[in-house]
């Protein structure tokens, strides 16, 4: 296993940072920044493949399926981060996008020794969530060969779920198991093998693209406003009302009235104000339009 890891691009020393231990802070950061600038450029040509993956996730959501991210260490934490931000941003149920990490939630903070080395554990953790063929599993690993992730992906494939891989090396075992394979090959890290850096940043950017694109295409965004957000605190209530203002141009009194009438649901309030209808009719229009605000404003044809 170890000699295989030695050959991975993410495990190579970076010749550009060989003297980084001799530099002052600003020069260290210049080198880090220079390497980071390459990430977005390297992701750009992968967009057709990332879009293919997002379309599969969208299809799963439309048929009542769920999205599972599976990873160990940094990759697992990034999956949990992306999953946990979907409910407040897009008003989704917590079960719709879930992050699973080797070693369980304790591993979000503390490393759990050996957890990532078990294929069986990866399969068992997915089983606990009642995985079925309508779901999508995205395996995330910089190396592309983490046993825990491979076990989860194999198991998902056997069940008939859609399997996507996200790695930072080319031609890995994960790639062979995936229906769609995203290989963000960002090269050697500033500090050799510290894949929380470029590899982690690339993963974060791609996960953002996957869920944001799927949620937009589900009708959870009107113009560029997150109109399905859950206004669960003072900041989000303020943001919700500001979105209603920006979307409709209505005055403060009308916004307050619509927001209250819509029980704090931004989409409903926007349709009420734009179409000049009450909350019941706005909700009926949204239901007929599958939640798409533009269609609901125009109304049933």
204-258: pLDDT as tens digits:
999 999 999 999 999 999 999 999 988 889 999 999 999 999 999 999 999 999 9
Our measurement of the distance from residue 5's CA atom to the centroid of its chain's CA atoms, rounded to an integer in Å, reads: 27
Interatomic CA distance for residues 193 and 189, integer angstroms: 6
* Strand residue runs (E) in the chain: 67-71, 97-101, 136-141, 162-167, 180-183
Residue 116: active-site member = yes
Phi-psi sector, 64: left (phi>0), alpha (psi -120 to 50), beta: left
> Active site residue: 11, 59, 85, 119, which one?
85
pLDDT digits (tens, 9 = 90+) for 175-198: 999 999 999 999 999 999 999 999
* Residue 138 φ then ψ, to 5°: -105, 110
Interatomic CA distance for residues 251 and 244, integer angstroms: 10
Q: What is the pTM of this model?
A: 0.93
Q: Taking Cα atoms as reference points, which of 5, 128, 136, 150 lies closest to residue 75?
A: 150
Interatomic CA distance for residues 67 and 146, integer angstroms: 20
pLDDT at 1: 43
Interatomic CA distance for residues 69 and 264, integer angstroms: 31
Interatomic CA distance for residues 280 and 244, integer angstroms: 18
Helix residue ranges, H only, 178-220: 198-217
pLDDT digits (tens, 9 = 90+) for 45-90: 999 999 999 999 999 999 999 999 999 999 999 999 999 999 999 9
pLDDT digits (tens, 9 = 90+) for 9-30: 888 889 899 999 999 999 999 9
* Residue 278 φ then ψ, to 5°: -85, 175
> Active site residue: 22, 35, 113, 116, which one?
116
How many CB atoms within 10 Å of residue 118? 16
How many CB atoms within 10 Å of residue 246? 12
Phi-psi sector, 141: left (phi>0), alpha (psi -120 to 50), beta: beta
How many CB atoms within 10 Å of residue 113? 9
pLDDT digits (tens, 9 = 90+) for 4-13: 667 788 888 8
pLDDT digits (tens, 9 = 90+) for 85-113: 999 999 999 999 999 999 988 878 777 77
Strand order in the sheet with 162-167: 97-101, 67-71, 136-141, 162-167, 180-183
Residue 234: active-site member = no
Q: Taking Cα atoms as reference points, which of 140, 141, 176, 178 lies closest to residue 156?
A: 178
Average pLDDT over residues 263-271: 96
Beta bridge pairs of residue 140: 71, 166
Q: Is the pLDDT of residue 114 over 80?
A: no
Contact 96, 66 (CB under 8 A): yes
């Amino acid at each position: 296993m170890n000699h295989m890891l030695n050959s991975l691009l993410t495990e190579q020393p970076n010749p550009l940072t060989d003297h980084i231990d001799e530099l002052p802070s600003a020069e260290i950061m210049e080198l880090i920044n220079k390497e980071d600038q390459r990430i977005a450029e390297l992701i750009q040509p992968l967009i057709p493949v990332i879009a293919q993956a997002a379309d599969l996730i969208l299809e799963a959501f439309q048929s009542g399926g769920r999205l599972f991210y599976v990873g160990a260490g940094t990759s697992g934490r990034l999956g949990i981060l992306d999953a946990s931000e979907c409910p407040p941003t897009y008003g989704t149920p917590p079960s719709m996008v879930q992050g699973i990490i080797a070693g369980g939630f304790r591993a979000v903070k503390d490393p759990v020794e050996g957890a990532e080395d078990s294929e069986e554990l990866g399969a068992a953790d997915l089983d606990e969530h009642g995985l079925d063929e309508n779901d999508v599993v995205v395996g995330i690993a910089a190396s592309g060969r983490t046993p825990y992730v491979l076990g989860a992906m194999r198991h998902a494939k056997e069940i008939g779920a859609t399997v996507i891989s996200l790695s930072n090396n080319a031609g890995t075992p994960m790639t062979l198991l995936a229906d769609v394979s995203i290989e963000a090959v960002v090269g050697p890290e500033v500090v050799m093998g510290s894949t929380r850096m470029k590899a982690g940043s690339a993963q974060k950017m791609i996960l953002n693209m996957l869920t944001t694109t799927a949620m937009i295409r589900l009708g959870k965004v009107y113009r560029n406003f997150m109109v399905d957000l859950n206004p669960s605190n003072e900041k989000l209530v303020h943001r919700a009302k500001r979105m209603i203002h920006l979307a409709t141009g209505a005055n403060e009194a009308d916004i307050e009235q619509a927001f209250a009438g819509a029980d704090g649901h931004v989409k409903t309030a926007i349709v009420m104000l734009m179409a000049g209808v009450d909350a019941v009719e706005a909700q009926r229009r949204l239901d007929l339009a599958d939640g798409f605000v533009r269609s609901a404003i125009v109304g049933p044809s």
